[in-house]
Chains A and B, each alone.
Chain A
Amino acid sequence: MLLLILKRIGLGLITLFIVSLITFVGVEVLPGDACTTYLEREAYGAALDACIKRLGLDVPAYERYLDWASNVIRGDFGYSLSGEMPINEVLGPRVKNSLVLASVSILIGIPLAIVLGIITALWRDKLPDIMISTITIFSMTIPEFISATLLILIVAIWLGWLPGIVIIPSDATFYELLSNIILPVVAISMIMTAHMARMVRSSVIQVMASDYVQMAILKGVPYWKMVFRHVLPNALLPAINVVALTIAWLLGGVVVTEVVFNYPGLGRLVIESISNRDLPVVQALAIILASIYVGINLIADLMTLMLNPRLKSLQIRK
C-alpha cells in the first residue's frame, strides 16, 4: 500500500516536471522576452541591456530553467514584472481568496448535490424527482456568465439586497470576504451542484437495480437502513473522482465567475497576468494550478482505493 502511494506521488511529480517544462518552453518560444514586453517602446539600447542583465536573460535557456526550477522547489517564484514585487506576495492573498470562495461553495454545493441526487433517485419519476431534475437541467444548461449576470440584475439591481460586484482589496480579511461572496457562491453552486446531482442520481439508480439491493430487501432489511448501508456506500464511490475534479476546478479559479463579479481570486489573476504579459506570474500560476489538480486527484484516487474493498485487496495482493 505504501509502495503504491509512493508510486502515485512519484507519477504526480513527473507530471509536474513535464508541466513546468512545457510552460517554460512555451514562454521561451513566444516572440520577445520579458524585457521587451515590460519595457515596450523603450526596449532598446542601454535600458534593454540593463533589464536583460537584471533579469538574468543573458544566460542560456536551460541554465535559466534549472535556476528557476530549483528556486520553485524552494518555494520562491521570483519577481513579478509589473509590480516588481515578489510573486509569492502577489499570489498569497489571491490563493487565500480563491480558497475561501472554493471552500464555501464546496461546503454548500457538494452536500446539496448529494442530497438532491439521492432524493431524485429514490423518488425516481415521482414529483420530487421531476421538480428537482427540471431545475438542475435548467441550471446546467445556462452558461455561468449569463446566470451570474442575471443574478446581479435581479438580486443586486432590482432588489438591492446585495452588492453586485465585489469591491474589496485582494488582502481583505476573511469576514469582509464572506459577506461579499454570496452571489458568486450561488452562481458557482448552480452549475456545480446540477452536474453532480445528475451523476449521483444515475449512480444511485444503478445500484438500486442491483442484485444485492434486491437481496437486501428480500432479507427483510428496512428501507432506510438498506439505503444507508447497502446503496449509498456503493453509489457514492464513483462520485469521489468527479467531486475531486470539481474541487480542483474551483481551487484553480473559476475564471468567468471571478471576472463577472470582479472577485480578486486566482482566476482573475490568470486573466490579468496574461493580458499584462507578466510571464513569470503566468509560469508560477501554471505550476500552482497543475499541482492543485495533481494533488487533489491523487487524494481522490487514494480515497477510492481505501473505500473500495475490492481494489484494496487487489493492490495488497500484488
Chain B
Amino acid sequence: MNEIIESVKNLSIGFNSQKGKQISILRNVSTNIKKGETVGIVGESGSGKSTLALAMMGYIKQGLFPLKGECIFKSEDLLKMSSRQLEKIRGRKIAMIPQNAGQALTPNLKIGYQIDEALKLHTNLNKTERDKKISELLNKVRLPSPETMAFRYPHELSGGQQQRVAVAMALAGKPDLLLLDEPTTGLDVTTQAHVLELLRFIAKDTGTSMIYVSHDLGAIAQVSDRIVVMYAGEIVLEGPARKILKEPIHPYTYGLLKSIPKLSLAGLPASMPGSQPQPGSINEGCSFYDRCNLATDNCKKNSPDLEHIKELDTNVRCFNYKELINQNNNLQTSITKKSNNSEANEVLKLKDVSISYAKQKFFDQLLNKISDQNPTVKDINIDIKKGETIALVGESGSGKSTILKSIAGLLKTKDGQIKFENDRILSSDLKMRNPNDLRAIQLIFQNPDESLNPNHTVEQILSQPLKLYFNLSGEELKKNIIGLLKKVRLGEFYMSRYPRQLSGGEKQRVAVARAFAAKPDIILCDEVTSALDVSVQAAVLNLLQQLKEDLGTTYVFVSHDLAVVRAISDRVAVLYQGRLCEIGPSQNVYKFPSHPYTEVLLGAVLEPDPDIKPKLVAEDIVEEKPPEKGCSFQGRCPRKIGDICNSEVPPWQIGENGNAIRCHINIKELASLQQ
C-alpha cells in the first residue's frame, strides 16, 4: 500500500509570453501517488490541474514546456523520455480516461477496433484471445450486449456508454495508474453517479491507483482517498479526503466548500469575492491574498510554503491556517433569502403547451400546422406568479430549454397558449409580438462567451437594449449604463472593455446587466451558472437573488443541477421527456414523498461529503423519444406497478405539503415506500 508509483518533484510548467517573458502555469508542484490509492486533484478552471495530470503521463500540451522538476515513474523521469519510450508506458503502465469521451473516440473507427488497438499495442494476445478480451472488457464496464457493441461506431452510443468505452479502453493495457480527467463532467446526473460507481468498483477490483482530476468536489468526495487542492498553479492543501472535506484548513478550500450549493441546505451558498489570478499576473506574496479574509500584511509580502502538519497528516500553504482548525462547524450554513409574496398575481401562464421539433410535411407547411402525435414537449401547465423564481429541472432531453425558447418566442408552440399579464395571449411567433412584450421577457444564456458579441465593448453591449426600448442617447444613456454596471457590481471602467478582457464571472455579470437593461418583468435563465466555476457561480446566484429582491423580477430558471435549483428557486417543476412529473414549492419537492423520477434525480446528486453516497435506483438508459402513451417515465421507473403505467397517463395527485405529483401510485403509498 505504501509503495510509491509515481512522484512529481518540484514541477514547474510554463510558456513564453509574447513579450518573451517566461510565465508558469504550474509552480513547484510535488506530490506522490501510492499503489492502490485514489488521489483527487481539485481546482477551478485555470488552476493547472489538467496540466499536472497530463504531465504525469509525460505529455505536455503544445506551446507549453517544463521549466524545472521531474515526474518519476518507476525510477525514470517521464519528462526526459523519448516518444518511443513513452509509447511503451502510455496505455500499458499509465492510462488515461478523457473528459469528453464523445470527442476522444476517433469517429471513423469502430469501438472494437479502438479497444483492440490498445490490446495489440500492450499485450501479446492473438486475434481470438483479443476478441474474447474485448467482450470481457465491455462486459466489465457494464455495457449492454458486449458482443455487438464492438461493431458500433462511437456516435451510435450515448454519452454514458461512450465514457464506459473509454474506461474499457484504458483498462485494456492493465495499467498500474489510471488518470481520469473530469471523466463525468458533461454527463447527466444519474449517468454520472453510475460511472463513478463503476470507477470505484474498478479501483477496488483491480487495485489500480487512480488520479481523479475534477472541478467538482462532489465527484471527488465519492472516489478519493486523498485530495490535492490546486490554486493558481500551486498545491495549497493536500491530505486525507475526509479531513479536507470536513475540516478544510486552507481558506480557499474552506470558501470553495462553502460556495457549493447543497441539497440539504435551503438558501444561497456564500460566495468568495474576486477570481483566480491569471498566470503571469501573480506577484510576490500569497496568490490567494486578494480573496482571503484571513490575510495579513505578512501574506502580501511573503508567499507561504507548503507546510506539513503531522497531527492532521495534511500539507497546507497558509500562514494563518490555525485560525481555521476547529472552526468548521459553520460549513453547513447558508444565506437565507427573502421568500416572495405568495399572494402576488400570476404574470405568466402556460396552458396545455405542446412543442414539436418534427419536420413539417409539405402540406402542413402550407396550412401552417404541425401534426405530430408525440411531440417533444406536451401538456405543460404552469402558472408563474409575479416575483417568484420557478425552476425547470431535468436531465438532457427533458425539454426544459425547449419550453424556455417557446416562452421567449424563439420556437413555435404546437398547441396550447402562453398567457402574459391579465391573461393576454402571447403569440408564439416572435414577429407577431409587440415591442413592449419583447422588452418584458429577456433571456440570459448559458455561455456568455457565445452570447456576448466579441467585437462590441461592454458599453455597446449594454447600450443596445437601452437604445432599442427606451430611445436613450448621450449623457442619459451613459448614466444608465453606469447604473446597470453598478447593479451587477462592476465598476465604470468596464465600459471600454471587450468581452475577451473579462473573466467568466464578469462576462456573465455583463449578460445579466444586459437582460436587466430592458427593465423586464420576466427573465429566462438558461443554465446561467453551468459554465462558471463554483465560487463564481455562488456570486452570480447571489447577484440574481439580490436583483430580484430589489426589482421584483420573475425568474424562470432552467438547470440540470438540483442543488443550484434548491438554492435559488421558490418553486420547482421536474420534467422528464418533455412531460411534467412533479411541481411544487422547492422546500417540499426536496422532501419526500416525491415522484419516482424526482427520487432518482435526488438520489444521484453528489454531495461534497464522503459520508453521503448517491443512491442508484434506476438504470441510466437513454431514451430517445417520449413513450407514445402512458406515463413518460415508464421506461426507467423503479416503482413501476404494471400495465397501467404503459397505457394511461397518470393523474395529478396533491401531497400534504403542497407538491403535485403525476403518478399512478397513491401518494400516501409513495410516502411509505420512500421512508
Chain A residues proximal to chain B, CB less than 8 Å: 209-223, 229-230, 233-234, 237, 307-310, 313
Binds A, one of B84-92, B568-576, B587-595: B84-92
Query: A1: shortest Cβ distance to chain B, in Å?
Result: 16
Query: B177: shortest Cβ distance to chain A, in Å?
Result: 12
A218 contacts B108, CB within 8 Å? no
B104 contacts A220, CB within 8 Å? no
Closest residue on chain A to residue B100 by CB atoms: A211
B59 contacts A220, CB within 8 Å? no
Bound Cα distance A306, B92 (Å): 34
Which interface residue of A211, A213, A218 has the most chain B CB atoms within 10 A?
A218
A309 contacts B88, CB within 8 Å? no
With A220-B122, A221-B117, A313-B153 as given contacts, are A215 and B98 in contact (CB-CB < 8 Å)?
Answer: yes
Closest residue on chain A to residue B57 by CB atoms: A218
B121 contacts A308, CB within 8 Å? no
A212 contacts B59, CB within 8 Å? no
- Interface residues as binary, B104-126 with A (CB distance below 8 Å gives 1, 0 otherwise): 11111100000001100110000
Query: Which residues on the B side are within 8 Å of A210 (C-beta)?
Result: 103
Chain B residues proximal to chain A, CB less than 8 Å: 54, 57, 59, 62, 83, 86-92, 95-96, 98-100, 103-109, 117-118, 121-122, 153, 155-156, 166, 169, 173
Bound Cα distance A289, B173 (Å): 56
Query: Which residues on the A side are within 8 Å of B57 (C-beta)?
Result: 218
Query: Which residues on the A side are within 8 Å of B169 (C-beta)?
Result: 219
- With beta carbons under 8 angstroms apart, the residue of B89, B104, B122 that contacts A212 is B104
Bound Cα distance A209, B62 (Å): 9
Query: B119: shortest Cβ distance to chain A, in Å?
Result: 11
Query: B428: shortest Cβ distance to chain A, in Å?
Result: 28
Query: A105: shortest Cβ distance to chain B, in Å?
Result: 29
Q: 8 A-B residue contacts at CB 8 Å? A: A211-B99, A212-B105, A216-B106, A219-B121, A221-B121, A222-B87, A229-B109, A230-B106
Closest residue on chain A to residue B117 by CB atoms: A221
With A215-B98, A234-B108 as given contacts, are A220 and B103 in contact (CB-CB < 8 Å)?
Answer: no
Which interface residue of A210, A219, A309, A310 has the most chain B CB atoms within 10 A?
A219
With A220-B88, A221-B121, A222-B87 as given contacts, are A211 and B108 in contact (CB-CB < 8 Å)?
Answer: no
Query: Which residues on the B side are within 8 Å of A215 (C-beta)?
Result: 96, 98, 104-106, 166
Query: B456: shortest Cβ distance to chain A, in Å?
Result: 28
- With beta carbons under 8 angstroms apart, the residue of A214, A308, A309 that contacts B104 is A214
Given contacts A210-B103, A217-B59, A220-B92, 7 further A-B contacts (CB under 8 A): A212-B105, A215-B105, A217-B90, A219-B121, A221-B87, A310-B107, A310-B155
Which interface residue of A229, A233, A308, A309 has the most chain B CB atoms within 10 A?
A309
With A219-B95, A220-B90 as given contacts, are A212 and B107 in contact (CB-CB < 8 Å)?
Answer: yes
B95 contacts A313, CB within 8 Å? no
The 4 closest A-B pairs by CB, nearest first: A220-B91, A220-B90, A211-B103, A215-B104
Query: Which residues on the A side are within 8 Å of B90 (C-beta)?
Result: 217-220
Query: B445: shortest Cβ distance to chain A, in Å?
Result: 24
Query: Which residues on the B side are within 8 Å of A220 (C-beta)?
Result: 86-92, 118, 121-122, 173
Which interface residue of B57, B62, B105, B109 has the most chain A CB atoms within 10 A?
B109
Bound Cα distance A222, B650 (Å): 57
Which interface residue of A210, A213, A221, A223 has the most chain B CB atoms within 10 A?
A221
Query: Which residues on the B side are within 8 Å of A214 (C-beta)?
Result: 59, 98, 104
B106 contacts A212, CB within 8 Å? yes
B107 contacts A211, CB within 8 Å? no
Closest residue on chain B to residue A234 by CB atoms: B108
Query: A108: shortest Cβ distance to chain B, in Å?
Result: 28
Query: Which residues on the A side are within 8 Å of B173 (C-beta)?
Result: 220
Query: Which residues on the A side are within 8 Å of B83 (C-beta)?
Result: 223
Query: A314: shortest Cβ distance to chain B, in Å?
Result: 9
Query: Which residues on the B side are within 8 Å of A209 (C-beta)?
Result: 62
- With beta carbons under 8 angstroms apart, the residue of B59, B88, B106 that contacts A218 is B59
Query: B578: shortest Cβ distance to chain A, in Å?
Result: 21
Bound Cα distance A138, B639 (Å): 71
Bound Cα distance A233, B109 (Å): 9
With A212-B103, A217-B59, A219-B96 as given contacts, are A308 and B108 in contact (CB-CB < 8 Å)?
Answer: yes
Bound Cα distance A214, B107 (Å): 14
Query: Which residues on the A side are within 8 Å of B89 (C-beta)?
Result: 220
B108 contacts A219, CB within 8 Å? no
Bound Cα distance A237, B95 (Å): 30
Query: Which residues on the B side are within 8 Å of A222 (C-beta)?
Result: 87, 121
Query: A72: shortest Cβ distance to chain B, in Å?
Result: 31
B96 contacts A218, CB within 8 Å? yes
- With beta carbons under 8 angstroms apart, the residue of A216, A233, A313 that contacts B108 is A233
Query: Which residues on the B side are within 8 Å of A233 (C-beta)?
Result: 108
Query: A309: shortest Cβ distance to chain B, in Å?
Result: 4
Query: B76: shortest Cβ distance to chain A, in Å?
Result: 16
A211 contacts B104, CB within 8 Å? yes
Query: B223: shortest Cβ distance to chain A, in Å?
Result: 20
Bound Cα distance A267, B368 (Å): 49
Bound Cα distance A96, B230 (Å): 70
B106 contacts A234, CB within 8 Å? yes
Bound Cα distance A147, B1 (Å): 72
Query: B90: shortest Cβ distance to chain A, in Å?
Result: 4
Query: B171: shortest Cβ distance to chain A, in Å?
Result: 12
Query: Which residues on the A side are within 8 Å of B62 (C-beta)?
Result: 209
Query: A168: shortest Cβ distance to chain B, in Å?
Result: 46
Bound Cα distance A210, B98 (Å): 12
Bound Cα distance A237, B106 (Å): 14
Closest residue on chain B to residue A212 by CB atoms: B106
Query: Which residues on the A side are within 8 Å of B104 (C-beta)?
Result: 211-212, 214-215
Query: A308: shortest Cβ distance to chain B, in Å?
Result: 7
Bound Cα distance A308, B155 (Å): 11
Closest residue on chain B to residue A222 by CB atoms: B87
Bound Cα distance A209, B104 (Å): 11
Query: B18: shortest Cβ distance to chain A, in Å?
Result: 16
Closest residue on chain B to residue A314 by CB atoms: B155
Bound Cα distance A220, B95 (Å): 9
Query: Which residues on the A side are within 8 Å of B92 (C-beta)?
Result: 220
Query: Which residues on the A side are within 8 Å of B156 (C-beta)?
Result: 313
Closest residue on chain B to residue A219 by CB atoms: B91
Query: Which residues on the A side are within 8 Å of B153 (C-beta)?
Result: 309-310, 313
- With beta carbons under 8 angstroms apart, the residue of A213, A230, A237 that contacts B109 is A230
Which interface residue of B91, B103, B104 has the most chain A CB atoms within 10 A?
B104
Query: B154: shortest Cβ distance to chain A, in Å?
Result: 9
Query: A306: shortest Cβ distance to chain B, in Å?
Result: 12
Which interface residue of A212, A216, A223, A233 has the most chain B CB atoms within 10 A?
A212
